[in-house]
Chain A
Amino acid sequence: MIKARIIVTLKTGVLDPQGKAIESALGNLGIDGVGAVRQGKVFDVTLEGDDAAGARAKLDAMCEQLLANTVIENYSVEIA
């Protein structure tokens, strides 16, 4: 069994209105000194078998084809 964590984030330069809204909410809570917040997504994926190289290729494929929209997002894959 292979466990992986995929992190999807917006590319630099792409406006993140949700991150901006979170920034302003943090200000409302009195948590000051916040420079910027960017919102992203985390996917925990479990793959059958123990072929790490095959898993890496499969995880990259799922990011490219579905989990990330590479027009606006970057992704990174960590295998535990």
Chain B
Amino acid sequence: MKTAVVLLPGLNRDRDMIAALTTITGKAPQTVWQTETTLPDVDLVVVPGGFSFGDYLRCGAIAARSPVMRAVAAAAEKGVPVLGVCNGFQILCEAGLLPGALMRNAALRFVCREVKLEVVNAETRFTGAYRQGQVIRCPVAHHDGNYFADAATLKRLQDEGRIVFRYAEGTNPNGAIADIAGIVNEAGNVLGMMPHPENLVEAEHGGTDGRGIFESVLGMSPSLAA
């Protein structure tokens, strides 16, 4: 089970992601710096959260044009699973690997709390460990998580089952359209989500609800207690 984590200046959740992947796979992920033009041969590439390049211009905009993201796009094109969390989701949208954009939270506040996520599609490569419609816990921490897509894109996402996670039980923390918390690309191998599943993967975190995403995409047998 080999994984890689993309490193960009200004990210701050890379260490959490590395710790989570190490715990889950038993092996530390390889790290790939922003100037790299190739990725190692791995089973999962993760773009973690933070504030790459200080969120200059727009969140994720500068990072999306970095050399390593061209390598991520090439890997995604070949079918390698790619997970973007928080700033990683913003970067994947800015890079054109996922549709739509993440805008400033509707209430303008930075939100750092736990939300409820409904697993809207349990048949993606990232959600096989969950039940359809299952509601899981997951922390969020962001200022720009207000997902927006035009009406045609939104309809397509809905019709094609590409909305993977929705904020449930009135916990939408950012005004995201249709309560969208996470989506996949057309081929289903690129998932972007605002919440941080890497922060809920071991008992010491207070729960393991986030673990299923990693176990699903890495083809591991689920250890879900949820």
Q: Are B148 and A18 in contact (CB under 8 A)?
A: no
CA distance A72 to B90 in the complex (A): 13
**B103 contact from A15, A65, A67, Cβ within 8 A:** A15
- B58 is an interface residue with CB less than 8 A from chain A: yes
- A14 is an interface residue with CB less than 8 A from chain B: yes
Q: Please, what's the 1-or-0 string for A53-80, where 1 marks a CB less than 8 Å from any CB in chain B?
A: 0000000000001110101100000000
Neighbouring A residues of B99 by C-beta, 8 Å: 71
Q: Which residues 98-142 in B have Cβ within 8 Å of A in the complex?
A: 99-101, 103-108
| Total residues of chain B contacting the partner, CB 8 A | 20
Which residues of B are interface residues toward A (Cβ below 8 A)? 57-58, 61, 65, 93-94, 99-101, 103-108, 146, 148-150, 175
A-B contact pairs, 17 of them (CB 8 A): A14-B148, A15-B103, A17-B103, A17-B104, A17-B105, A17-B106, A17-B146, A17-B175, A18-B104, A65-B65, A66-B57, A66-B65, A69-B61, A71-B99, A71-B150, A72-B101, A72-B103
Which residues of A are interface residues toward B (Cβ below 8 A)? 14-15, 17-18, 21, 65-67, 69, 71-72
